[in-house]
């Protein structure tokens, strides 16, 4: 994935250099499709792409407008077109990110208005591709079906990038980065507990990669706060010290239901 992003960036830099030298070049097609499981960084990378494209002068601003079907498709006749056009107006000059884009097309429902939104998107993607970049995102298998049903959309997407699941080592690195960015840290026991948590959680249902790790850390911080509050109340002391406020301990993580019900738990807690 990183290699593909680097290739796209390199292509745009070279294209810009060619134009600066007066060499003939066609307007690059920058519409993309990001496929992968939840929490693999699709939205984050879309934001990075908006920044890159803006710095290189291919879009007027670095805004990322993130939407789903509900933002584009209406529920009655005459409702879809204005909704879709309003979103496009808001995104113009930047990047439009459509998450779970396959829900735009529902062939099983004859009265569905998603096709109308798709037709408007196709027109804008072709005629105003120098002022708007559209990124579609979703599960790979479902996006493949979506493109088979919508060849016009498939022909306008030049770059297909797959986001693989993270490994346990990568998720632990992500966890360390997340806590360090907000002035927390793991003690030695918490670091071990976090690795154990990740390995267990990866085997459970509804695992969402980095998103699951972020949720787990939010709950660990809640447990740490409750622990510090109880300790202060019991000791009738003032505020906890700096180190205590920064430190997540192993017990803050091992209190998760993942450890008490590691096989059948279907929701993070």
Structure tokens at 59: 């879009």
Question: How confident is the model over 219-234, as pLDDT tens digits?
Answer: 999 999 999 998 887 7
* Total residues found in the chain within this entry: 269
Domain limit, last residue, from 137, 163, 189: 163
**Nearest CA to 153 among 128, 132, 129, 122?**
122
- Which of 117, 143, 163 finishes a domain? 163
**pLDDT of residue 26 exceeding 50:** yes
- Say yes or no to pLDDT of 4 above 90: no
pLDDT on residue 237: 63
Q: Which of 33, 36, 57, 6 is nearest to 134 (CA)?
A: 33
**pLDDT (0 to 100) of residue 68:** 97
Interval 102-125: pLDDT, tens: 999 887 776 789 999 999 999 999
Element (H, E) at 152: helix 151-156
171: which 2 tokens? 């998720």
Which 8-state DSSP code applies to residue 59? Answer: S
CA distance 72 to 61: 22
CATH number where 209 lies: 1.10.8.60
| Percent of the chain clearing pLDDT 90 (strictly above) | 73
Residue 187 within any structural domain of the chain: yes
What does the block give as tokens for 165?
């699941």
Mean pLDDT of 128-146: 94
Domain limit, last residue, from 105, 130, 163: 163
Decide if 215 is inside a domain.
yes
CA–CA separation, 247 vs 7, rounded Å?
41
Domain count within the chain: 2
DSSP 227-261: HHHHHHHHHT--SPPHHHHHEEPHHHHHTSHHHHS
* Dihedral angle of Cα 55, 59, 61, 62, to the nearest 10 degrees: -60
**Residue 265: pLDDT over 80:** no
Q: Identify the domain containing residue 203 by its residue range.
A: 168-260
Confidence (pLDDT) at 182: 97
Q: What helix, strand, coil percent values describe the chain, rounded to 5?
A: 55, 10, 35
Quote the percentage of the chain above a pLDDT of 70. Answer: 95
- Residue 190 belongs to some domain of the structure: yes
Which pLDDT score is estimated for 263? 57
Whether residue 265 is contained in a domain is answered as no
pTM of the model: 0.86
Q: What is the mean pLDDT of residues 7-23?
A: 89
Q: Is residue 266 part of a domain?
A: no
């Amino acid at each position: 994935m990183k290699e593909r992003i680097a290739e796209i960036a390199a292509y745009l830099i070279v294209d810009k250099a060619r134009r600066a030298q007066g060499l003939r070049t066609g307007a690059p097609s920058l519409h993309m499709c990001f496929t992968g499981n939840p929490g693999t960084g699709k939205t984050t990378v879309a934001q990075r792409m908006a920044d890159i494209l803006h710095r290189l002068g291919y879009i007027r601003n670095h805004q990322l407008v993130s939407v789903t079907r509900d933002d584009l498709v209406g529920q009655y006749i005459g409702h879809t077109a204005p909704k879709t056009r309003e979103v496009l107006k808001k995104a113009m000059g930047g990047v439009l990110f459509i998450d779970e884009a396959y829900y735009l097309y529902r062939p099983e429902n004859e009265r569905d208005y998603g096709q109308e939104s798709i037709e408007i998107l196709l027109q804008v993607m072709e005629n105003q591709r120098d002022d708007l970049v559209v990124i579609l995102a979703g599960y790979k298998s479902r996006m493949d079906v979506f493109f088979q049903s919508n060849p016009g959309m498939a022909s306008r997407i030049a770059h297909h990038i797959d986001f693989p699941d993270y490994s346990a080592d990568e998720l632990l690195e992500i966890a360390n980065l997340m806590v360090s960015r907000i002035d927390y840290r793991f003690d030695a026991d918490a670091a071990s507990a976090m690795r154990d948590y990740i390995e267990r959680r990866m085997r459970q249902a509804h695992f969402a990669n980095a998103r699951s790790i972020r949720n787990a850390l939010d709950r660990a911080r809640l447990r740490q706060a409750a622990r510090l509050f109880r300790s202060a109340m019991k000791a009738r002391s003032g505020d906890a010290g700096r180190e205590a406020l920064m430190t997540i301990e192993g017990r803050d993580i091992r209190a998760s239901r993942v450890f008490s019900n590691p096989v059948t738990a279907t929701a993070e807690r």
